[in-house]
Structure 1
Amino acid sequence: MNHGGQNPNRSMVVVPGQCLSDPITQDVKPDRVPDPGTGRMTDDYWGPSKRILGDLKFLESLVQFDKDHIPVRVIKQLEEKILPDENFDPDKVKTASSAAEGLCKWVLAICKYDKVAKVIAPKREALEKAQAEFSVAMAALEIKRAQLREVEEKLSKLEAVLEENKRRYANLQAEVDENTKQLQRAEELIGGLGGERERWDTTAKSLGERYFTLTGDVLLASGVVAYLGAFTLQFRMEQTKNWVQRVAELGMICSNNFSLTEILGEAVVIRQWNIFGLPSDSFSVDNAIIIKNARRFPLMIDPQGQANKWVKNMEKANNLSIIRLTQSDYGRILENAIQFGQP
């Protein structure tokens, strides 16, 4: 201090506080000296204070002072003996010594810090505890998040498998539906064919009988095509009847009710002829069969134009050429038709 060996009153007030809170002396004990007024022994901090202030590490000790672990006993002594003193005021102390003023402020600051620290310490401990719990909770949360990601990955894979199974199920269901429809159609077909059994039996029996009469029937059909094309229906019927009798006399088997349509006709072809304009009566159909199977070119007497219409419609797709003897290009058209095989 500025006063060296002197002992001013206001500086003396700061000294005990410094001795009690000094980190190096660790609660320095005062000297016991007689009180000049009463003669009783009393505490004197002046001597210990001079020793503390004379330490070369004094300022460093103030900077490194462990303010978070001040003994309760020291704070209690400061509050009971030092702080209540009215002279322990920086404004008053600075009149005696500027160094004492700084020490006074330092002691007051330490006391205030201790009070605040006692309030904050539990909160700080609670904060540290909460932070520790938070860290544990976050670690557990990360574990749960990792587990959640793993579950989500498994769920994604399972969803992919589910979609694939749904697709396969849809395909199988479509196949089942298609097979069911085919089975229904097959059952309907079998049911329909079952109703045709009687007709098939009749047809088979008829074909069996016609097998034995085939030679005679073909002979009669050949005769009709070769010789009876130019005659009327009545003459054909009479001549055919005579031929049937003659064939029987010669020992050949033929149908008793001979029909050129049944021997050489085809139902589908005849139906197509009818569509092209051929009349559906038996005489017209027989004439068409003769025209189709004859090896000679037919001469058709057609006063009603029915044969003309039928031939034109039937050969239209084959580029039929229609000519008359009076045409100037008659020869050229006929030549081209023969050359390119056109009707």
Structure 2
Amino acid sequence: IAGFMNSLQQFQKDKINEEIVELLQVYLDMEDYTMENAKKVCGNVAGLLAWTRAMVTFFGINKEVVPLKANLAIQESRLRAANNELSKAKAQLAEKQDLLDDAEMCKKKMQTASALIDGLSGEKFRWTEQSKEFKEQINRLVSDVLQLAGFLSYCRPFNQNFHDLLLKDIWEEELRSNKIPFTETLNIVSSLISMRKVQELPTDDLSVQNGIIVTKASRYPVLIDPQIQGKAWIKKKGSKNTLQVSNST
């Protein structure tokens, strides 16, 4: 397992090409190739599914960045050539008047190239930072997915304090002790559900997390609901699907 993890972390992403993505796309387009189905099988399978999707996303971004970097190198080469031409024109300016026109033209070329270089330089920094962050996210992906799967599998019967204990004091410490990279600020809620869906849940953190477990976990929960918040939420959510409420004695 350790060797397999290392092979994922050291995978040469820059060697991904269109043919590989086309072959992989057949699987990505399958109806059952989803995080939900993968989680039903195994948390590790879900992690690998997310990893393959991340590789395809990286290829799409990298495919746009590489031509821009190449164009930047071309423009830098043009700028050097324009500077050389301008120097020669200035040296011969005293002899021929027509060289003055050539020097002016070269100067305009240099200004245009300089403006383009200045613009691309800022983009180059942003692309570099984004690429670096993306690589770091990939390195943390498996451990982050492991924590999310653990949350859905083991946190359901417990209160907020125990949720925090499992996530911060036990799982994160275990990852640190094994020197496995993970996201220090991993947000369980935003990682598993959209903010629009969060707004449909009760406002306290525990209710939000419980709501996520209800909607994302593969098994049906039993609700302990003294304040009737869960019941009201389920009735509202199920009203769109003709939910029928029955009383049992």
TM-score (norm 1): 0.33
Structure whose residues are more often helix by fraction = 2
TM-score (norm 2): 0.44
Flag the structure with larger Rg: 1
Q: Determine which structure has greater relative contact order: mean sequence separation of CA pairs < 8 Å that are 6+ residues apart, divided by chain length.
A: 2
